[in-house]
Amino acid sequence: MVEEPVDNPYLRDPDTSFAPVSELTEAEAREQVERLREVIAYHDHRYYVENDPAVADRTYDALFERLQRLEDAFDLHAETSPTQRVGGEPLDELETIEHVAPLLSLQSSGDAETIREFDRRIRESVGNVDYAAEPKFDGLSVELVYEDGHFERAVTRGDGTEGEDVSANVRTIGSVPLRLPDAPDFLAVRGEVYMPRSGFQALNERRVERGDDAFANPRNAAAGTLRLLDPETVADRPLDIFVYDVLLTSATLDSHTAAVDLLTDLGFRVGETDIVADVEGVIDYRDRLLDARDDLEYEIDGIVAKVVDYGAREELGSTARHPRWAFAYKFPARTGETTVERIVVQVGRTGKLTPVALLDPVDVTGVTISRATLHNVGQVHDVGVREGATVRIERAGDVIPEVVEVVEAGDGPRFEMPDACPVCDGSVVQEGEHHYCTNASCPAQLRRRLQHFCSRDAMDIEGLGEQAADQLVEEGLVESLADLYDLDQETLAALDGWGEQSAANLLDELEASKDIDLASFVYALGIRHVGTERARALAAAFSLDDLLEASVEDLRAVADVGPEVAESVAAYVDNPANVGMIERLRAAGIEPERRERGGDELDGLTVVFTGSVPGYTRSELAERLEAHGASVTSSVSGATDYLVVGENPGTRKQEQADAEGVETLDSAAFEERILARID
Ligand code: IVH
């Protein structure tokens, strides 16, 4: 626990009204800057490490803003100032740097007998020992170096001897202290950078909505993010770190317990450590964690046991690769080995062709896996997958299993994307690394479009899941989304597996879906690059008739609609088949309503949110504000009136707001100043 900087005036009286910058002498400015950095670092620790903020966001923002002003006015910038977490210039490449001490790996096993054997060897050498048992975090190992208490650099593990300089990216992680109070002259620590599950899911949702590929699992997302060249993008992604080891220090430490205490006191985010008296304690600890595995906010792939006493560690020593005083007891891998029977190509809603490996079914920790995604043709070639290959597949949490490695090469031909759509024979075009079927009435696309059309945020038609959608398309009952509304009781009830009741239910759902708001309707159409947020923006800006007539320029005028999106929407509404389909939907009785306008109290107001406002979902809020004339956009620009900073906010939008001089509101201020106007 980091101590409060009790003699810091801004801790006791954070609402200090600041004298104008111009009235300060340089010495006074320096003093204030130091005090502000100290108190902001303390609040960062309370927020990011303790999950227990000590001040209101508004107050924090005021302190931060003051610090920024002073640094600018007196040219007092410093790399380890809290103002420098974000905003590093994009790099051309990552530099290679040697570690201060080798980053060794661990001997590991998933088998209790082997673990007992590791322990036996340790006891034969140094007698009975206590072990520190800790989660084995499944992320990326990094070295953090501090000199004179200042964050100097962060380096990836690399080959254990040298790695890549990822300092600018690691600096954006709020729980990484940039300065250590009362620190040893030299300190190098080791930790694991990871992406929390919830942040990973949200990031993937945003990526898919934008038309980017989803990351396969949190580890890949963290690895990809850590090596990005633009720290600003990194700052917008939810990375975090657990620090678990002192690599090298000028301080004297005699045990792991002392090391953990030091790290905790210095303000690092340290995982929990259990001290156990023997190897059976290690095994129990592992079994307990295995049960808790799915409830954690981060992935772990086992536990690590370390001899607590440094004297014993020294006696045991290390091999070139791993220390003899520690070992990992791994969980059963969520991976399995099996053979690729065939590689098929699946066609998605937007016509995207995805190669999929059909596998000899294999059980992976209780789940039978018979297919795995290969993402795109480049990936198939990079991994080297061919039919007949023995591959290792991985299932991480709830995400789609993927092929991670070829264990034994296959004898099938090199995979190539077909020139024609495997489902409809339509022509295929390549865009970037992906291939698309260009035939809008391709049945495969239709099946997916149908499912999307019926999904909750779209027309919300229950009872039309994957299987039913496939069936309706296969039976030739639905060739266009509009055909849905021509279905009748008799035809549906006669379908395989259906009956009078399920047919009646679907018809009721279809009838109820006709009462729909424009935003959900626009989303339901499944236009490429138009997710729920953009659909809302379009619905706020256009009536359905205007949207059908909109040009690229008209579309560009909508906040949040960039060139790619505008082109995509314009191409959609220019296609007579689409317009005809929409007219048929209207004729069936769907007249999407622009959301009931509550009034024009917020006309012309542009608001951006970061983090969550307690008690509301983001889309609820956007809906309410837009109904009263406000625009809710996803990025801060000079045109933004307010940035609403809720719980767990990102830092980038705040930085942008600062840079653009946009006023920020915390949740309370937002409720008082904006929601109150429309309640
Ligand atoms: S101690 C030399 N503790 O597991 C001992 N490692 O090969 C240093 N890991 O990539 C490692 N959680 O980064 C230690 N609590 C923990 C860990 C941990 C994850 C990683 C480590 C390395 C791998 C072992």
Q: Is 247 in the pocket of ligand 1 (CB under 6 A)?
A: no
CATH classification of 334-344+355-408 is 3.20.20.70, yes or no?
no
**Short-list 478, 461, 452, CA closest to 349:** 452
Q: Is 105 in the pocket of ligand 1 (CB under 6 A)?
A: yes
- C-alpha 305/C-alpha 560 separation (Å) is 50
Six-digit token pair at 407? 């264990």
- Which atom of ligand 1 is the closest one to the Cα of 318? 2
Q: Is 304 in the pocket of ligand 1 (CB under 6 A)?
A: yes
Going from the C-alpha of 349 to that of each of 55, 304, 442, 474, the distances in angstroms are 47, 44, 10, 16
Residue 536 — pLDDT band, cuts 50, 70, 90? confident
Ligand 1 pocket test: pick from 100, 105, 106 the residue with the most ligand atoms within 8 Å of its Cβ: 106
Please compute the mean of the pLDDT values over residues 110-123 and round it to a whole number: 96
Mean pLDDT of the chain: 90
Residue nearest to atom 17 of ligand 1 (CA): 136
- Which atom of ligand 1 is the closest one to the Cα of 322? 2
Q: Cα torsion at 355, 356, 360, 366 (round to 10°)?
A: 150
Six-digit token pair at 518? 């424009």
CATH of domain 107-330: 3.30.470.30
pLDDT, tens digit, 9 for 90 and up, residues 331-377: 987 889 999 999 999 988 778 899 999 999 998 877 789 999 888 89
Residues 6+ apart with CB under 8 A from 378: 433
Q: Are 99 and 55 in contact (CB under 8 A)?
A: no
**Distance from the CA of 159 to the center of ligand 1, in angstroms?**
14
Ligand 1 pocket test: pick from 99, 245, 275 the residue with the most ligand atoms within 8 Å of its Cβ: 245
Q: Is 143 in the pocket of ligand 1 (CB under 6 A)?
A: no
**Short-list 58, 66, 56, CA closest to 31:** 66
Architecture (CATH level 2) of domain 443-587: Orthogonal Bundle (1.10)
Strands 663-666 and 642-645: parallel
Residue nearest to atom 10 of ligand 1 (CA): 141
pLDDT, tens digit, 9 for 90 and up, residues 576-624: 888 999 999 999 999 998 865 567 788 878 898 887 788 777 667 887 8
**Distance from the CA of 558 to the center of ligand 1, in angstroms?**
49
**Distance from the CA of 136 to the center of ligand 1, in angstroms?**
6
Six-digit token pair at 501? 């009741």
pLDDT at position 1, please? 64
**Short-list 44, 209, 87, 78, CA closest to 148:** 78
Ligand 1 pocket test: pick from 304, 319, 329 the residue with the most ligand atoms within 8 Å of its Cβ: 304
Residue tagged 């303000």 (tokens): 267
Residue tagged 């580890």 (tokens): 219
Residue nearest to atom 23 of ligand 1 (CA): 105
Annotation marks residue 136 as catalytic: yes
Residues 6+ apart with CB under 8 A from 76: 29, 30, 33, 70
Q: Which listed residue (136, 306, 352, 653) is catalytic?
A: 136
**CB-based burial label for 144 (10 Å; 0-12, 13-18, 19+):** buried
List the chain domain ranges.
21-86, 107-330, 334-344+355-408, 443-587, 606-678
Query: Which of 192-196, 236-240, 401-405, 510-514 has the weakest average pLDDT?
Result: 401-405
Residue nearest to atom 4 of ligand 1 (CA): 136
**Assigned superfamily of 21-86:** Helix hairpin bin (1.10.287.610)
- Which atom of ligand 1 is the closest one to the Cα of 139? 19
pLDDT at position 598, please? 67
- C-alpha 475/C-alpha 297 separation (Å) is 44
Residue 402: count of CB within 10 angstroms of its CB: 20
Residue 399 — pLDDT band, cuts 50, 70, 90? low
Q: Is 136 in the pocket of ligand 1 (CB under 6 A)?
A: yes
Higher local confidence (pLDDT), 232 or 162: 162
Residue 55 — pLDDT band, cuts 50, 70, 90? confident
Residue 492: count of CB within 10 angstroms of its CB: 21
Q: Is 106 in the pocket of ligand 1 (CB under 6 A)?
A: yes
pLDDT for residue 398 is more than 60: no
pLDDT for residue 213 is more than 80: no
pLDDT at position 302, please? 95
Q: Is 305 in the pocket of ligand 1 (CB under 6 A)?
A: no
The β-bridge partners of 204 are: none
**Distance from the CA of 256 to the center of ligand 1, in angstroms?**
14
Q: Are 632 and 625 in contact (CB under 8 A)?
A: yes
Residue nearest to atom 2 of ligand 1 (CA): 104
- For 178, which DSSP code? S
pLDDT, tens digit, 9 for 90 and up, residues 16-26: 678 888 889 99
**Distance from the CA of 291 to the center of ligand 1, in angstroms?**
21
* DSSP secondary structure of 110-175: S-HHHHHHHHHHHHHHH-S--EEEEEEE-SEEEEEEEETTEEEEEEE-TTSSEEEB-HHHHTT-TT
pLDDT at position 211, please? 67
Ligand 1 pocket test: pick from 140, 244, 324 the residue with the most ligand atoms within 8 Å of its Cβ: 244
Higher local confidence (pLDDT), 321 or 209: 321
- C-alpha 32/C-alpha 67 separation (Å) is 8
**Distance from the CA of 25 to the center of ligand 1, in angstroms?**
49
**Short-list 36, 58, 60, CA closest to 46:** 60
Strands 150-156 and 140-147: antiparallel
The three-class DSSP label of residue 148 is coil
pLDDT at position 487, please? 94
Q: Is 326 in the pocket of ligand 1 (CB under 6 A)?
A: yes
**Distance from the CA of 231 to the center of ligand 1, in angstroms?**
25
Q: Is 323 in the pocket of ligand 1 (CB under 6 A)?
A: yes
pLDDT for residue 210 is more than 70: no
pTM: 0.63
**Distance from the CA of 335 to the center of ligand 1, in angstroms?**
20
Six-digit token pair at 285? 């600890």
**Distance from the CA of 162 to the center of ligand 1, in angstroms?**
17
CATH of domain 606-678: 3.40.50.10190
- C-alpha 454/C-alpha 240 separation (Å) is 37
Higher local confidence (pLDDT), 648 or 223: 223
**Distance from the CA of 218 to the center of ligand 1, in angstroms?**
17
Q: Are 610 and 533 in contact (CB under 8 A)?
A: no
Q: Is 61 in the pocket of ligand 1 (CB under 6 A)?
A: no
**Short-list 485, 456, 336, 455, CA closest to 405:** 336
Kind and range of the H or E run holding 235:
helix 231-235
Q: Hey, what amino acid is at 128?
A: N
pLDDT, tens digit, 9 for 90 and up, residues 76-92: 999 899 999 986 778 88
Q: What is the largest CA-CA distance in the chain?
A: 87
- Which atom of ligand 1 is the closest one to the Cα of 105? 7
First to last CA, the chain: 43
Ligand 1 pocket test: pick from 103, 136, 325, 331 the residue with the most ligand atoms within 8 Å of its Cβ: 136
pLDDT at position 271, please? 92
pLDDT at position 596, please? 59
